[in-house]
Structure 1
Amino acid sequence: MSLAPRAVLVHRTTEYDELVARHGTHGQAAFFLASRGRDIEEVAERHRRTRRALAEVTAAIPLSWRQTRVERADLDRFLFAPEDVVVVVGQDGLVANVAKYLAGQPVVGIDTDPGRNPGVLVRHRPGDAATLLPSVLAAGTGVDELTMVEAVADDTQRLVALNEIYLGAAGHQTARYRLGLEDDGGVVEAQASSGVLVGTGTGATGWIRSVWQERGGDGGRGEGHRGVGGSGGGRGAGVRLPGPTEERLVWFVREAWPSPATGTSLVAGELAGGGRLVLTVECERLIAFGDGIESDAVELTWGQTVRVGVWGERLRLVG
């Protein structure tokens, strides 16, 4: 007999809860915010909207399902099961936070603050849950399979992200390394830069897009290349940003520094299918982190190699 589905409600502590925990009372938190030109009522109202959303979604879970909740800070200690339906109640970033812990479970994103969140990943309103959740496991339910990116070090450390992976020095100072493409005939370049970004089509709406636009992009021409040099047209020229479901990544070197010992000929490109970007560390400490969470970084040291490419799993986001 198969287990009944389990709804896993993923949420995060609200700013209001964090303020009251830090300052002890509502009044003290209000005084603290007022001293900085903010009104606690705005924070409290967002807190109430989140609580109402959680209550509405909880009430919409089918009676035959099991259910549980997990706070964002506890995700790395939570064991997801194959029969889970993951319901993310919060912001777009919360979907990215949970994605790396999943293995094919469907994800429903519920936006607790429409108009404040972009709604790229939290696509539904709390009121949609009553009709949406019972249909999630039915055949024909629309699901977008979003590409993810992974970095694997030679000591087996692994990092997975939905948006992008950053590799560079802690504090975003100068990092030294050797960079190349795994299937590009052994072409490798020594570089000094403020880091390397490798991103997905989902990440192309955020940090990756800002780097791409910084140097001109490709104007929407769609002319992609596996590697792009540092001269002419800007860093983004010739690189076409992928769509969220494309099995393709883009990578950019940030502020590569030319010198007698370091080059700038490999500063942008694409990784399709099994393509891998290979980085060998040539400094005492280099970190890699995903989706902007620097506190969950992989640490690398002199001589270590890390390979970055498309991850085999995809995030199954209910449309």
Structure 2
Amino acid sequence: MSLAPRAVLVHRTSEYEELLARHGTHGQAGFFLSSRGRAIEEPAARHLRARRTLAEVAAAVPLNWRQARVERADLDRFLFGPEDVVVVVGTDGLVANAAKYLSGQPVVGIDTEPGRGLGVLVRHRPEETARLLAAAVSGSAVLDELTMVEAVADNTERIRALNEIYLGRSGHQSARYRLTAGAGTGRGGPGADPGATEGAGRERTPVSETQASSGVLVGTGTGATGWLRSLWRERSSGLPLPGPADPRLLWFVREAWPSPATGASLVAGVLERTDVLRLTVESDRLVAFGDGVESDALELTWGQSIRLGVAETRLRLLI
């Protein structure tokens, strides 16, 4: 007997709740904000709107479905199942936070504050929830399949991200590593057996350079509205930005420092579907994390290598 669908409602702690956790009471939180020229009423009102939206979405889940809730801080410990429909109730950034833990489940984005953000990923209103859930399980839903980026370390640990993956020092100080571009072309992506790519796909001679920089950023078309775009604009880059569904990534080295031992010529490029960017660590400790969540990072040390490329898994977002 197959399991009933499960609606997993993803939400996050509000600013108001964080203020209460820190200051204890509404009055103390209000006093703290007033001393900095803000009023407690604004975060309190936003908190109430978000709670009402979450309650409305929960009430729209069919009675014969299972239901679960997960807060953003607990996503890395939550086990998503293949029968889940993931309902993100919040902002675009919350969809990105959830995406790295999914493996093809359909995602519905519900905007708690229409007009406050771009609404690129949270495209729907709470009153649409019942219809969207029905479409997700009936096969009638129209889906955007958004490209993700994946990093795989030589010890097989991996992370995925919807916007971008950053590699460097945790404090963004100078990191030492050897960068190889054009490596691992062929079938399989960054997680494949390197031997399986030999002779497959197009041939390209890898180019390497030892660098000292404040890190490397590898981003998707979805990330091209954020951090990746800021680097692209700063460089006045001629590389075409990918679209969210394009199986193509852009990468940039941040503030590469030229010296007798390090270079600064290999600082930007494109990764097509089967391309891999390889980084070999020459520092005590580097980290790789996705979408700004450094608390869920891979840690790398001397001699370790990591490969980045287009992930086979995509975010399946209901239109």
TM-score, normalised via structure 1 length: 0.91
Tell me what 1:289 maps to: 289
Q: Distance in 2 between matches of 1:27 and 1:187?
A: 60
Q: Equivalent residues in 2 for 1:65-144 (5 A)?
A: 65-144=65-144
Q: Distance in 2 between matches of 1:168 and 1:24?
A: 37
C-alpha contact (below 8 Å) 1:143/1:316 kept by paired residues: yes
One-letter amino acid of the structure 2 residue matched with residue 103 of structure 1 = S
One-letter amino acid of the structure 1 residue matched with residue 180 of structure 2 = G
Specify every segment of 5 or more residues in structure 1 that has no aligned partner in the other structure, as ranges. Answer: 217-235
One-letter amino acid of the structure 1 residue matched with residue 128 of structure 2 = D
> What secondary structure sits across from 1:294 in the alignment?
coil
One-letter amino acid of the structure 2 residue matched with residue 255 of structure 1 = E
One-letter amino acid of the structure 2 residue matched with residue 192 of structure 1 = A
Question: After TM superposition, what 4+ stretches of structure 1 lie above 3 angstroms from structure 2?
Answer: none
Q: Distance in 2 between matches of 1:134 and 1:155?
A: 41
Deviations 1:167-201 (Å, cap 9, x if unpaired)?
11121111111111214424211111111100111
2:39 paired with 1:39? yes
Tell me how far 1:316 sits from its aligned partner. 0.4
> What secondary structure sits across from 1:189 in the alignment?
strand
Tell me how far 1:257 sits from its aligned partner. 1.4
> What secondary structure sits across from 2:59 in the alignment?
helix
Specify every segment of 5 or more residues in structure 2 that has no aligned partner in the other structure, as ranges. Answer: 186-203
Tell me what 2:231 maps to: 211
Tell me what 1:26 maps to: 26
One-letter amino acid of the structure 1 residue matched with residue 124 of structure 2 = H
> What secondary structure sits across from 2:44 in the alignment?
helix
Q: Distance in 2 between matches of 1:15 and 1:105?
A: 29
> What secondary structure sits across from 2:138 in the alignment?
coil
Equivalences, count: 299
Q: Distance in 2 between matches of 1:124 and 1:316?
A: 15
C-alpha contact (below 8 Å) 2:72/2:94 kept by paired residues: yes
> What secondary structure sits across from 1:121 in the alignment?
coil
Tell me how far 1:130 sits from its aligned partner. 3.2
Tell me how far 1:66 sits from its aligned partner. 1.3
Tell me how far 1:140 sits from its aligned partner. 3.2
Tell me what 1:13 maps to: 13
Q: Equivalent residues in 2 for 1:176-195 (5 A)?
A: 176-181=176-181, 182=183, 183=185, 184-195=204-215
Tell me what 1:225 maps to: none
State the superposition RMSD in angstroms: 1.2
Tell me how far 1:138 sits from its aligned partner. 2.4
Q: Say which is worse superposed, 105-114 or 124-133, in terms of deviation.
A: 124-133
Q: Say which is worse superposed, 205-214 or 155-164, in terms of deviation.
A: 155-164
Deviations 1:212-256 (Å, cap 9, x if unpaired)?
01111xxxxxxxxxxxxxxxxxxx22x111111111111011111
Tell me how far 1:127 sits from its aligned partner. 2.0
Tell me how far 1:143 sits from its aligned partner. 0.4
Q: Distance in 1 between matches of 2:141 and 2:130?
A: 15
2:211 paired with 1:202? no
Tell me what 1:147 maps to: 147
C-alpha contact (below 8 Å) 1:61/1:134 kept by paired residues: no
> What secondary structure sits across from 2:263 in the alignment?
coil
C-alpha contact (below 8 Å) 2:165/2:288 kept by paired residues: yes
> What secondary structure sits across from 1:172 in the alignment?
coil
One-letter amino acid of the structure 1 residue matched with residue 9 of structure 2 = L
